A = this chain, B = another copy of it.
Amino acid sequence: MIATGIVVEYNPFHNGHLFHLQEAKRQTDADTIIAVMSGNFLQRGEPAIVDKWTRTRMALAGGADLVIELPYAFATAHAPQFAKGAIQLLDALYCSYFCFGSEEGSIAPFTNSLTLISTQQQLYESAIKEAMREGISYPNALRKGYEAISHDTSIDLADLSEPNNILGFHYMQAANDIHSSMIPLTIERIGTHYHDPALPADSVASATSIRKSIFTNESAEDVQPFMPPTSYRLLKNWEDLNGFQSWDALYPLLRYSILREEPERLTEIADIREGIEFSFFRAAKEQTTFQGFMQAVKSKRYTWTSIQRMLVHILTGYRKATREQITDPSYIRLLGMTESGRCYLRSIKKQLPLPLVSRVASLSDPSLLMDIKSTDIYMSGIQSPAPTLGQDYRTPPIFV
């Protein structure tokens, strides 16, 4: 049986995701699509608008056969760590291929870039260090390093100023690092540009523009044309029950936790460094909205995303001491499966290098405890009705 892996957030699952999933299946002739999906907090340092079980249902309805949770420790990390967690899980699940969406659309430029960096490692790294010393953000420093080694070459390289190309590059690098036998494959992203916030007239829109439409119009109705029917129905159900989750909704909890911790204790939180805790503390005292808070703390040294990631870690109480305990994925957390996914799992079950977790109570692991905790905190921010916590303990894998 052939399994193809994809790495997803599905925030929410839309027609572009459906296209990618179907193409990945078609191009690899896969029997099984395995989606490694982030839990309730995402790579850009944001809560997902609907919870991980709703998004699991969307994924299964859209054609995924197995949905595996990318643990919090990787899902909310910068690109190299995010990619490492996702690729290691897909490799552990014996995928023959992994397939990612990119602006580039073909795999050769990525391979060329990887080769170039590995042969010019020293120049690359010293250019990055140099740029960091000048006080620019990490992603920009990476770009500088890349420019330093690529400016006078004529080979076809991946354009690493594009967000999906960057992730794709890190998937390839992570696969390389573990000598994975998985074959990489990329599909060009269709529809609007990733960051384009305007809804286009046809049937594909980015998740970013879909979320923007939802929050601007305070309703999900306008985004119906851009989502598969089941996905849209699940989105509406969640909205009716809980309202969409967002930083705006979670800000009172974030603000409270910053005030309660005070600057001194904030430094124990993952990613907090170089005095930014004082800026957070001041802003929490003064700002009554999340947008106001972000405007008050933004700086040249950090990207918006990296600040949001710090804030997610403050919100969930994710500490440096906990992060140091988590280097590689240590379990395979099953969120959902189809009959075909179940067959595939049965066929590889005995050779799995990591424990397969269907019930979280069966394993005590710092990374898994962090997944459970972050779910509870995600739900704590839901206003109506009184949130039910401990869902990770009560929710069995979804089977459709």
Contact with B along A368-400 (1 / 0, CB 8 A): 000001001100100000111110000000000
Shortest distance between the CB of A361 and any CB in chain B (Å): 13
B373 touches A262 (CB 8 A): yes
Complex contacts, A286 vs chain B, CB 8 Å: 389-390
Set of chain B residues within 8 Å of A380, measured between Cβ atoms: 252, 255-256, 259
**Is A386 within 8 A of B288, CB to CB?**
yes
- The residues of B that contact A262 with a CB separation of less than 8 Å are 317, 373
Q: Taking A252-B380, A380-B252 as contacts, is the C-beta distance between A259 and B389 under 8 angstroms?
A: yes
B386→A289 contact, CB < 8 A: yes
How long is the Cα–Cα vector from A372 to B290 in the complex, in angstroms?
Answer: 22
Nearest CB of B to A72, in Å: 13
Task: Flag if A285 contacts B386 (CB, 8 Å).
Answer: no
CA distance A376 to B260 in the complex (A): 9
Against B, the Cβ 8 Å flags (1 = close, 0 = not) of A241-261 are 000000000001101110111
Q: Do residues B285 and A390 form an inter-chain contact, with CB atoms below 8 A? A: yes
Residues of B within 8 A of A4 (CB): none
A15 at the interface (CB under 8 A from B): no
Residue contact B387 to A259, C-beta cutoff 8 Å: no
Distance of A380 Cα from B386 Cα, bound (Å) = 19
**How many chain copies does the complex carry?**
2
**Please, which residues of chain B bring their CB within 8 A of the CB of A388?**
288
- A316: CB under 8 A from chain B? yes
Contact among B252, B377, B386, B387 with A260 in the assembled complex (CB-CB below 8 Å): B377
| Cα distance A351–B286 in the bound complex, in angstroms | 38
Nearest CB in chain B to that of A387: its residue: B288
**Cβ contacts under 8 Å, A285 to chain B:** 376, 389-390
A253 to B257, CA, bound (A): 9
Chain B residues within 8 Å of A377, by CB: 256, 259-260
Contact indicator A259/B376 (Cβ below 8 Å): yes
Q: How far, in whole Å, are A253 and B265 apart by their CA atoms in the complex?
A: 18
Contact call A256/B259, Cβ cutoff below 8 A: no
| Contact partners of A316 in chain B: CB under 8 A | 260
How far in angstroms is the closest Cβ of chain B from A162?
A: 36
Rounded to whole Å, the gap between the CB of A262 and the closest CB of chain B is 7
**Which single residue of chain B is at the shortest CB-CB distance from A388?**
B288
B contact residues around A259 at 8 Å (CB): 373, 376-377, 380, 389
CA distance A316 to B259 in the complex (A): 9
- Please give me the residue from chain B that is nearest to A256 by CB atom: B380
Measured CB to CB, the nearest residue on chain B to A380 is B256
* Contacting residues, chain B, for A257 (C-beta < 8 A): 256-257, 260
Binding site for B on A (CB under 8 A): 252-253, 255-257, 259-262, 265, 284-286, 288-289, 315-317, 373, 376-377, 380, 386-390
Could you list 26 A-B pairs, sorted by A, with CB under 8 Å?
A252-B380, A253-B253, A253-B256, A255-B380, A256-B256, A256-B380, A257-B257, A257-B260, A259-B373, A259-B376, A259-B377, A259-B380, A259-B389, A260-B315, A260-B316, A260-B317, A260-B377, A261-B317, A262-B317, A285-B389, A285-B390, A286-B389, A286-B390, A288-B387, A288-B388, A289-B386
Known pairs A259-B380, A284-B389, A286-B390. 12 more at Cβ < 8 A? A256-B256, A256-B380, A257-B257, A259-B373, A260-B315, A260-B316, A260-B317, A261-B317, A262-B317, A262-B373, A286-B389, A288-B388
